[in-house]
Structure 1
Amino acid sequence: MPGEIGTVGELFMLKVLTVLSLALVMNAALAGAALAQQTQVRIAVALEPPTLDPTANAAEAVDIVVYQNVFEGLTRIDENGTVQPGLATEWTISEDGLTYTFTLAEGVTFHDGSAFDAEDVTFAFERIVAEDSLNAQKALYEPIESVTAVDPHTVEITLKRPTGTFLFDIGRPDAVIVAPESAENNARVPIGTGPFAFVQWDRGSRVILERNDVYWGERPALTRATYLFIGDTATLTNALLAGDVDGTNNMAAEVLDVFAADPRFKVLVGTTEGEVILATNNAREPFDNPKVRQAMAHAIDRHALIEGVTYGYSQPIGSHFAPHNPYYVDLTGTYPHDLDAAKALLAEAGLPDGFSATLKLPPVAYARMSGQILASQFAEVGIELELINVEWAQWLEDVFTNHDYDLSIVAHVEPFDIGIYADPDYYFGYDNPEFAALIETLNATTDDAERKDLAIEAQRILAEDAVNGYLFELAQTGVWDARLEGMWQNSPIEGVVLRDIRWVE
């Protein structure tokens, strides 16, 4: 009996140990799987890209996925809008500002294994400026006179005239370097030199990228990134709360409080390149009178607009410049909200009882909501606005092309686009030779300190002339798993850049 009891006891203990061992193995496997998962990220974006070639399509959705991830340029733009080295590790500029000599990174390969060298750079830029080019920003690269491969790791670019934004412009998604062997197929199968390589595109659902383990630069922490296309706010909210996605670069402002109150998430609120303006037809009465424009500027309550339109998630602006740009200056105090000052200026302009005008609004929520609030604010000083809702095609024809409008509301999203005010034929109808001369000098200046001074002066002129009503900068409102770090808070250029994103427990 004692022997039988001992045998049974031993068998029981053996079963217990076996179960415990299996549990330990399973726990270890689950822990390993969890650890492996923490090198992958699932990012929800609002729109599916129509193509994956940023050099042949203007859609921001393309750049969101591939810029600085799959494709790289000679330079790159960082989170602050500053130019950084890219495939060019350094460069020199001739005294006349016309010749740029770039030293290229060595040991770089495209994702298909082909080597990167100076000939790829010449091919990429010749493709951009070619007569049949599909590049959406082709005009930016018109100053290029020639691109010469001096040797495999040196490229010389000669310009027709000095262009102060040239280093920034070649860091845009439109100027990434593509190879002649693969360029034709980049729309479907993008092949670049970046830290992530394209894996698959499930149309209507997702794009998957994987880490390029032979990347020439610093290897990112992530091994895989999946971009999921979720355009509906309710669906995206549910996906985040359920843990089906790890974050999104831009969440609708009306639901941000849900995530701000949940410790599982972090909300990153920054700026974009979208300056929301009350576009004003300076060539049409009474807006050709600066006093009228200044009166309207005094009538605008930016903070009420921001609360009403973006739930407080935007930054007021006083001129046509993004607050994250190192050249930005805060000019919101130029014409503070002051109804008495507005009425006095209208009286000086010969309009003591105010006037009536039309406000054409494109089909985006920020414009139409801003229009309703501005109409109420302007009514307080005697300016009666008729709100006219139009679709984009009509807006482009009436406002942008034919200049058939009084006022409109729209976001200008191109980086560093203050130069549009130097063109009297642009739809604002602003004709200021002094400003145009300033922009010409700015465009020809390469010294950064001098460029900053000129850019600040340009901002001041626009603010003081109240060329448009400067309202607010569209916010980037990212919602992310609280354990993630390295995401861009600001968006000075299109893209969800993966290189610095990592999980932190």
Structure 2
Amino acid sequence: MKTHPSRMRSRLASAAAATTAAALMFTGCAASAQSESSGGADELTVAITAYPSSWDQDFVAFDLIALMLHKNVYPFMVDYDVAEVEGGRILDTENIIPTWAESFESEDGQNWELKIREDAVFPSGNPITAEDVKWSKDRAFAAQANVAGVYSMIGLTSPDQITVVDERTVRFAQEWPSALSPQIQALALFVYDSKMLQEHATEDDPWAQDWVAQNPADGGYFVVNDFTPGQEIVLEANPDYPADNGAQIDTIRFKVVSDTASAAVQLREGDVDVAMGLSSPEIDDLADVEGVQILSAPNNDLLQVTINTESAPFDDPQVRQALAYAMPYDQIIESVYGGEARRPESLVPIDMPGYDDSRYEYDQDLDRAADLLESAGVEDLQLDFVYQAESAEQERIAILVQDALSEIGVTADPTPLDPATLGERRAAGDIPIQITSGQNWVNDVEYLVNNQYKTGAFLNYSRYSNPVVDANVEAARTVTDPTERNELWSEIQEQFANDVPAIPLVQPDFRLPVADHVGGFVQPVDGLLRFNFFTAD
């Protein structure tokens, strides 16, 4: 194992004085009181199926394991609070709380002031200062990747817009006021130990990208105590973490296993306490195993049938509407998910602010579906119904959809594609109809539409273009009043219902198989588990 370099440095003692954090504008967030050192006990072993591709959050791509670890070990200035929803605990995206920040507030939604907690320190012993925040965000803009991308959505496009006021205070001057600002900062406002990273920088690598890719730059809820690339990562509760949502478990040991089947076996045999990434059938198989429990909470991961609106005959809205009337919605929920799922009646997830189910009229009605196809002049339609090869749930859904469509004279051949091929074909835009799923990292319609349904959006696999949708999401950019925003979102959802660029099928509950002594689970609306909430009874 490697011992993290910062563990060999002296550690400054954290201050015991309490601080009061001001409420965030537009979030209604209560102050987060400072607590004593992270208090829990014992150890949890977590099975993961891959070692993180990089420890560098500015450059890592679609690696959910890496991003989950980053969320637990990086010092974020703010994060989500917790809310109760239908008997489960979930991260509350409408309330952002200070963590390493003492306060983060705005009078106008455009100009924000961050104040760092007094005596905040990195694991190296270096103080967390405004200069660290500034250097970290300069690095992000230089990378022109993750953070720079999401910052552009709130009018932060240049490092000059982020300025140091004093040792503990930073100002963010956006080009416009944005309701997305608190959530975007919960996603992006993490800080590097700039002094430590600069020690590893070179003339050819001024931001120490090579070093950070291989070495965790930590100091969040947890610190990285040891790591063996490809095998194991050991986290310890950060004794200097100041807020009241600090880690409840002393040690979290991430164990890399070969696949999800191995993770399930190890949980069954008591070799691990948490098994991540399991499919719904694998989780079902563990439901009656002694010593195992299935933690569950509502989820905003929406699975849908996405239709290429430029590909004949799907360029006719009647054909897309016909498919929407043909879908076996209830059968999918019961047969694939055993009832552990909800049916969304919009392309906006159920728990997203602005969700409006009054516009969507498509219950399964095979006669109506057949009539629409006839009206569109379509008969003997044959199609390849694409889904992700490794997904047992998507395979089962594809078979159910195949059976339903056969009732209206449509032949849909389930077509699995491996991730590489699927990515290539999605980028090329040549898949007529496919199953897609995903969880929005920002729980907001503006974010969703900008990424998936605005003309030319990066994830617009439906090749959808609607002037009302484009105009409304553009108009919403500077609107911060929730009522005004919801009116815009309702109009967008009406367009979605008429145009059917995709068919919302199901929102599976977030289910996590764990040992029966594990508690404290909070469903992560961004898909990134926070292990600071976990307990071991």
Q: How does 1:167-178 map to 2 (within 5 A)?
A: 167-172=182-187, 174-178=188-192
Q: Does 1:196 align with 2:222?
A: yes
- Tell me which of 453, 462, 472 is aligned to 1:421: 453
User: C-alpha displacement at 1:125, in angstroms?
Assistant: 1.2
User: C-alpha displacement at 1:449, in angstroms?
Assistant: 4.7
Matched with 2:469 is 435
TM-score (norm 2): 0.78
CA distance in 2 between partners of 1:324 and 1:364 (Å): 27
Q: Does 1:208 align with 2:234?
A: yes
CA distance in 1 between partners of 2:75 and 2:354 (Å): 25
SS at match of 1:123: helix
Q: Decide which moves more: 139-148 or 70-79.
A: 70-79
Matched with 2:34 is none
CA distance in 2 between partners of 1:94 and 1:186 (Å): 36
Q: Tell whether the 8 Å contact from 1:268 to 1:479 is kept in structure 2 after alignment.
A: yes
User: C-alpha displacement at 1:57, in angstroms?
Assistant: 0.4
Q: Does 1:479 align with 2:513?
A: yes
SS at match of 2:213: coil
Q: Tell whether the 8 Å contact from 2:55 to 2:217 is kept in structure 1 after alignment.
A: no
Compare CA radii of gyration and give the structure with the larger one. Answer: 1
Q: Does 1:370 align with 2:382?
A: no
- Tell me which of 335, 357, 375 is aligned to 1:348: 375
CA distance in 2 between partners of 1:413 and 1:198 (Å): 27
Q: Tell whether the 8 Å contact from 2:40 to 2:249 is kept in structure 1 after alignment.
A: no
The 3 A distance-change label for structure 1 pair 406 and 259 is: closer
Matched with 1:66 is 70
Q: Residue 48 of structure 2 aligns to which amino acid in structure 1?
A: V
Q: Does 1:396 align with 2:423?
A: yes
- Tell me which of 182, 193, 196 is aligned to 2:196: 182
Q: Decide which moves more: 107-116 or 208-217.
A: 208-217
User: C-alpha displacement at 1:116, in angstroms?
Assistant: 0.8
Tell me how large the CA RMSD over aligned residues is. 2.7
Q: Residue 151 of structure 2 aligns to which amino acid in structure 1?
A: Y
Q: How many matched pairs?
A: 461
CA distance in 2 between partners of 1:72 and 1:449 (Å): 34
CA distance in 1 between partners of 2:431 and 2:276 (Å): 34
CA distance in 2 between partners of 1:303 and 1:231 (Å): 34
Q: Does 1:49 align with 2:66?
A: no
The 3 A distance-change label for structure 1 pair 284 and 294 is: same
The 3 A distance-change label for structure 1 pair 442 and 190 is: same
Q: How does 1:454-493 map to 2 (within 5 A)?
A: 454-488=488-522, 490-493=523-526
Q: Residue 195 of structure 1 aligns to which amino acid in structure 2?
A: Y
Unaligned stretches of 5+ residues in structure 2: 1-38, 82-90, 198-207, 443-447
TM-score (norm 1): 0.83
Q: Decide which moves more: 209-218 or 329-338.
A: 329-338
Q: Tell whether the 8 Å contact from 1:360 to 1:407 is kept in structure 2 after alignment.
A: yes
Matched with 1:80 is 92
Aligned-residue sequence identity (percent) comes to 21
Matched with 2:85 is none
Q: Decide which moves more: 322-331 or 280-289.
A: 322-331
User: C-alpha displacement at 1:166, in angstroms?
Assistant: 2.4
Matched with 1:334 is 361
Q: Decide which moves more: 53-62 or 108-117.
A: 53-62
CA distance in 2 between partners of 1:147 and 1:344 (Å): 58
Q: Residue 529 of structure 2 aligns to which amino acid in structure 1?
A: V
Q: Does 1:217 align with 2:243?
A: yes
Q: Does 1:154 align with 2:169?
A: yes
Deviations 1:401-459 (A, max 9, x none): 33223212222344342322121564312221111111112232233454445445433
CA distance in 2 between partners of 1:428 and 1:176 (Å): 33
Structure 1 outlier segments of 4+, above 6 Å: none
Deviations 1:371-397 (A, max 9, x none): 232122111112222444433333333
User: C-alpha displacement at 1:323, in angstroms?
Assistant: 3.3
User: C-alpha displacement at 1:493, in angstroms?
Assistant: 1.3
The 3 A distance-change label for structure 1 pair 89 and 328 is: farther
